[in-house]
Amino acid sequence: MKKSLLSIAVVSALAMGSCQSPVPSLNEAGIIPFPASLEAGSGIFTLESESGIKVTGEGEELEILGEYLATKLRPATGFVLPVSRESGNIILEMTSGGSPDSYELEISDSEVKITASSGSGLFYGIQTLIQIFPVEIENESLVDMSWKIPQGKIFDQPEYEYRGSMLDVARHFITVEDVKHYIDQMAGLKLNYLHLHLTDDQGWRIEIKSWPKLTEIGGSTAVGGGEGGFYTQEQYKEIVAYAAQNYITIVPEVDMPGHTNAVLASYAELNPGVNLPNGKTDSLNKAPLDYKMPTTNPQAAELYTGIEVGFSTFSTELELTYQFVDDVVREISEITPGPYFHIGGDESHVTEKDDYVYFIERVQNIVVKYGKTNVGWDEVATAKLLPGSIAQFWAVEENAKLAKDQGNKVLMSPAKRAYLDMQYDTTSRIGQHWAAYIELDSAYLWNPESYADGVGRADILGVEAPLWTETVTNRADIEYLTFPRLSAIAEVAWTKNERKDWESFRKRIAQHGKRWDINGIGFYRSPKVDW
Ligand code: TNX
């Protein structure tokens, strides 16, 4: 019995070896996002048991990057792949000069060499190299096959400096472990900013030591009435550090003055007394029909577990509101090394226009006081933005234009293309469709620089794909809505528009599907692709 099992294993291993598909040319390797320039050679390079990784140039990062690459290649190959300064036929070289995030990758018959002038550049070169290896490289255990890759040369650099995604950890809490898993996927796509939507009507998800009831009360539930959750500051730091190891910067968001019911439920003294919608709104994204002007109300709001938006607001006249904002921005900024602080500012339907403008202008200064650059949803451009502030376009083109006219940059997240919570089609098991149904080709086929009237290349900081989580409760839900669309958005953000090609993307993404299968990632099998 044992023997026959063994011989079946041997035979199938041999068969696998002999049937192994021919090495595709570098043009056909499933590289996503597609590189800035690529020249396919004719030969192949073979990774062997004697191979090693040699790091050269200045910087302690090099050893870490070498180990990172080795860790990716060891399990499936079973090779030792020592990392050293002395020898190895996979070379990571840090040079000086060159634009940040750019790298060169050269594969010859005897060696593979990645050259860059920054850690991020080398990291991106490593991601490309991993994608050039046969998909079986993703396996956690030994695969008996030869590890051949096509020769050629790549020079690569991103079109946009900000390439991001957002997780709404407020509507449903997302655990540290799941955020890290998301970061792993982002890293493979050369995305470099993770925006965390930390607060909303349904939940407050970050410990604030000077206002402890925010998490105690405000963090205690979620959409649908689940148990909620929050990150301690230590856990948040852990996410920040994990992201940094993956060359990803965290952008924290505290959404205000609307989307603040969780705060108003935690601290009565901050509640101006706009009451819950009580189901009296007619559809998503509309203010409550029975809205009345705020009155002073010493009662805390009730916790909210529905999915209406636009019914809550801070009092913009109350001094305590600004003390609160100051404390929150200070505590979060202290544990956020990245340059940005997102103040939300969307859908404040029950804040008077003048009050809204006053609030945004005042809060911008608090953010700057703590050394950060403001980011806000496009509505913030109806206020006078500080120089350098960023407006995140999601819905209203005129707002994006207002930001540009003030000399501010725009982050592109058009809901009709870049919202990962939109359904693919009418049969999608979760998601919303108020903005659009977004099939994979729709997520791919748009050009940030011609999308919003009057907003051109020079006005755009980058592209971000947000995942709102009203209908998302676990990792499987995240993966179903995110993949393959996040790969499409990553290419929109990295690759120049003239080098994008849907037919080529369709083929390349199919290879990623095989990788996701090996990694147990439950992606949406779009009918637009032959998986
Ligand atoms: C609009 S996008 C919102 C969010 C919702 C999302 C659902 C934005 C700035 N506001 O509050 O979660 O729609 O798709």
74-84 average pLDDT score:
98
CATH number of the domain at 22-156, out of 3.40.50.880, 3.50.50.60, 3.30.379.10, 3.40.50.720?
A: 3.30.379.10
SS3 of residue 94 by DSSP: strand
Helix (H) or strand (E) holding 520: none
Q: Which residues have CB under 8 Å from 408's CB, separation 6+?
A: 381, 385, 387, 388, 389, 390, 391
Q: Report pTM.
A: 0.93
Of all atoms in ligand 1, which is nearest to the CA of residue 378?
9
Ligand 1 pocket residue status of 393, Cβ below 6 Å:
no
Q: Is the CB of 32 under 6 A from ligand 1?
A: no
Give the containing element (helix H, strand E) for 325: helix 319-334
Ligand 1 near 255 CB (within 6 A): no
Nearest-angstrom CA–CA distance, 197 and 467: 9
Beta strands in 394-449 (DSSP E): 409-412
Indicate whether 166 pLDDT > 70. Answer: yes
52: Cβ contacts below 8 Å, ≥ 6 apart: 80, 81, 82, 83, 84, 87, 88, 89, 90
Question: Residue 277: is its pLDDT beyond 50?
Answer: no
Cis peptide bond N-terminal to 448, omega within 30: no
CA of 346 to the centre of ligand 1 (A): 8
Residue 347 is among the residues annotated as catalytic for this protein: yes
CATH topology of domain 162-502: TIM Barrel (3.20.20)
Q: For residue 307, which atom of ligand 1 is closest to its CA?
A: 12
- In this predicted model, which residue has the larger pLDDT, 173 or 99? 173
Q: Under a CB-based contact definition with an 8 Å cutoff, are residues 185 and 200 in contact?
A: no
- The residue whose C-alpha atom lies closest to atom 2 belonging to ligand 1 is 394
**Can you tell me the distance from the alpha carbon of 492 to that of 163, in angstroms, rounded to the nearest whole number?**
9
Closest-lying ligand 1 atom to the alpha carbon of residue 346: 9
CB 311 within 8 A of CB 261: yes
The alpha carbon of 423 and the centre of ligand 1 are apart by a number of angstroms equal to 14
Sequence-separated (6 or more) residues with CB below 8 Å from residue 444: 488, 491, 492, 500, 502, 505
Whether ligand 1 lies within 6 angstroms of the CB of 347 is answered as yes
Instruction: Answer positive or negative: Cα dihedral of 145, 150, 154, 157.
Output: negative
Index of the ligand 1 atom closest to the CA of residue 392? 9
Pairing type for strands 390-393 and 373-377 reads: parallel
470 CA closest ligand 1 atom index: 12
- Say if residue 173's pLDDT is above 80: yes
Work out the pLDDT band at 294, boundaries 50, 70, 90: very low
- Cα-based distances in Å from 278 to 114, 228, 256, 313, 349: 59, 21, 21, 16, 16
Q: Give residue-wise pLDDT tens across range 424-461.
A: 999 999 999 999 999 999 999 999 999 999 999 999 99
The 10s digit of each residue's pLDDT in 326-349 is: 999 999 999 999 999 999 999 999
DSSP assignment string, 244-255:
HHTT-EEEEEEE
Lowest mean pLDDT among 94-108, 193-207, 240-254, 484-498: 94-108
Ligand 1 site, residue 469, Cβ cutoff 6 A: no
**162-502 and 22-156 share a CATH fold:** no
Cα of 253 vs centre of ligand 1, distance in Å, is 13
Q: Where are the domains of the chain?
A: 22-156, 162-502
Cα-atom radius of gyration of the chain, to the nearest Å? Answer: 25
Measured from the CB, is residue 377 less than 6 Å from ligand 1? yes
pLDDT of residue 298: 66
Backbone angles phi, psi at 113, to 5 degrees: -130, 130
Q: Which residues contact 510 (CB under 8 A, 6 or more apart)?
A: 30, 529, 530, 531
Helix (H, G, I), strand (E, B) or coil at 101: coil
Mean pLDDT of 17-43: 87
pLDDT tens per residue, range 357-392: 999 999 999 999 999 999 999 999 999 999 999 999
Q: Do residues 163 and 490 make contact, with C-beta atoms less than 8 angstroms apart?
A: yes
From CA 318, how far away is CA 337, in angstroms rounded? 30
Tell how far the Cα of 372 is from the centroid of ligand 1, in angstroms. Answer: 24
* Model pLDDT for residues 93-142, shown as the tens digit of each residue: 999 988 889 999 999 999 999 999 999 999 999 999 999 999 999 999 99
Does 106 contact ligand 1 (Cβ within 6 A)? no
- Comparing 22 with 484, the larger pLDDT belongs to 484
Amino acid at 321: T
Cβ(394) to ligand 1 under 6 A? yes
**468 CA → ligand 1 middle, Å:** 7
* 444, two tokens: 């791919």
Continuous segment of H or E residues that includes residue 357: helix 353-369
- Tell me the pLDDT band of 292, cut-offs 50, 70 and 90: very low
Q: With helix as H, strand as E and coil as C, how does 152-169 read?
A: EEEEECCCCCEEEEEEEC
Q: Which of 347, 379, 439, 464 is catalytic?
A: 347
Cβ of residue 413 lying under 6 Å from some atom of ligand 1: no
Whether the CA torsion 257, 464, 467, 395 is positive or negative: it is positive
Position 235 confidence tier, pLDDT thresholds 50, 70, 90: very high
